[in-house]
Amino acid sequence: MTHTDIKTEGIISYLPKTWRPYLLLMRIDRPIGWWLLLLPGWWSIALASGGFEGMYWRHWYYMVLFFFGAILMRGAGCIVNDIWDKDLDAQVERTRLRPIAAGVVEIYQAYAFLFFILFTGLIILLQMPWITFWLGVFSLVFIGTYPYMKRITWWPQAFLGITFNFGALMGWSAITSNLSLTPVLLYAACFFWTLGYDTVYAHQDKKDDALIGIKSTALLFGKRSKIYVAAFYTLTMILLVTAMINAGAGHISLLLMTLPAIHLIRQMMDWRINSPESALKIFKSNRNFGLLVLICMLLSGLATNAS
C-alpha cells in the first residue's frame, strides 16, 4: 500500500481544480499542522486572560485572528519547506506527490502564492500590539531557515520546536502587551512537546531519510525513541503545570491536567515505532492532547490561587 500524505478527497475535491495544487501546498487537506501551530497561542491567550471568566470580546477576537493566522503561517511554512525540499521530496514515498515535487506547481508560482499568504498574514499581525507584531515578524527568520536544518543537524525537530511555538509568546503579549516568566515557561513546554511529537512523526520516513542523507531525531534515537519521547512529554507536563501555577491558575484546572497527562501516557503505550501508520496516528492525536490542555487553561480562573 502506498504511504502518501497527499489527500485529494474531502474539502479539496469540492474546490475548483485550478485551486487544488495551491491548497495542497498549504496542506489544507491536513489540518493537524495548523492545529498544532494554533494551540500554543490559544493556551497563552486563555492563561493570560485568567481563563474564560476573564475573557472579553477583544480576547475572543484575538482567538479568531490566531486561528486564521495559524492556517496562513502553517501554509507559508509548508510552501517554504516544499521549495527547499523539492528534489528530496521526489525521492521519498510519502512526499513524492507534493505539488512542487510532482511538477504540478512551478517554483515561481509557489513564490507568488507565498507572497500573497505573507501579505495576508501581515494584515492580521497589524491588528495586534507592537510587541506581538515584532514577535511574529521575528518568527519568519526561523520559518525560512527551518527546512535547511535536516541537512546539517540530527536535531531538526528541536529547531522546529523553536520555530513552531512563537504563539505561546504572542498570545500572552497580545493580551498583556508584555512578556513575563509565564509565557517563557509555556514556550519551553511547547518546545518539548514539539520535540516529542515531531520525533514520532519523523519515524514515518526514517528508511527513506537514511537512504538520502536526511537527519532526524528518529534516526538519532533509533530503538530508544520511546524513552526520549516519554522524557520530552514528561518535561512538557512539568513545564505546563509550572506555567499555570505561575499564572495563578486554580486547583481545579491543575487537577484536570491529569487528563492530558494520561493522554500522553496512552500515546506511548499505543505507539509502534516501526509502523508509519502508527506514527501518523499518534502524531495526529496530539491535537486532542492540546484541546484537553486548552480546556484546563480556560478553566484556570476557577478556585484561583491568585492573591
**Nearest-angstrom CA–CA distance, 3 and 21:** 19
Assess whether pLDDT exceeds 50 at residue 181. Answer: yes
Q: Which residue has the higher pLDDT, 65 or 306?
A: 65
Angle formed at CA 286 by CA 280 and CA 288, multiple of 5 degrees? 120
Q: What totals of helices (H) and strands (E) does the chain contain, helices first?
A: 16, 0
Model confidence at 297, in pLDDT bands (50, 70, 90)? very high
- Cβ–Cβ < 8 Å for 229, 196: yes
Range ranked top by mean pLDDT from 69-73, 202-206, 208-212: 69-73
Classify 194 as helix, strand or coil. Answer: helix
pLDDT tens digits for range 89-100: 777 777 778 888
Classify 43 as helix, strand or coil. Answer: helix
Model confidence at 306, in pLDDT bands (50, 70, 90)? very low
CATH of 10-298, one of 1.10.10.10, 1.20.1510.10, 1.10.357.140, 3.40.50.12500: 1.10.357.140
- Cβ–Cβ < 8 Å for 273, 223: yes
Going by C-alpha positions, the residue among 141, 127, 140 that lies closest to residue 63 is 127
Model confidence at 102, in pLDDT bands (50, 70, 90)? confident
Across all residues in the chain, what is the average pLDDT? 91
**Nearest-angstrom CA–CA distance, 182 and 263:** 24
- Cβ–Cβ < 8 Å for 50, 301: yes
pLDDT tens digits for range 20-31: 888 888 888 889
Please give the average per-residue pLDDT across 234-262, as a whole number.
Answer: 97
Please give the average per-residue pLDDT across 208-236, as a whole number.
Answer: 94
Assess whether pLDDT exceeds 50 at residue 160. Answer: yes
- The residue extents of the domains of the chain are 10-298
- Cβ–Cβ < 8 Å for 160, 37: no
Which ranges constitute the DSSP H helices of 165-224? Answer: 167-176, 181-202, 206-212, 217-221
Please give the average per-residue pLDDT across 282-299, as a whole number.
Answer: 98
Please tell me the predicted confidence (pLDDT) of residue 21.
84
Please tell me the predicted confidence (pLDDT) of residue 13.
67
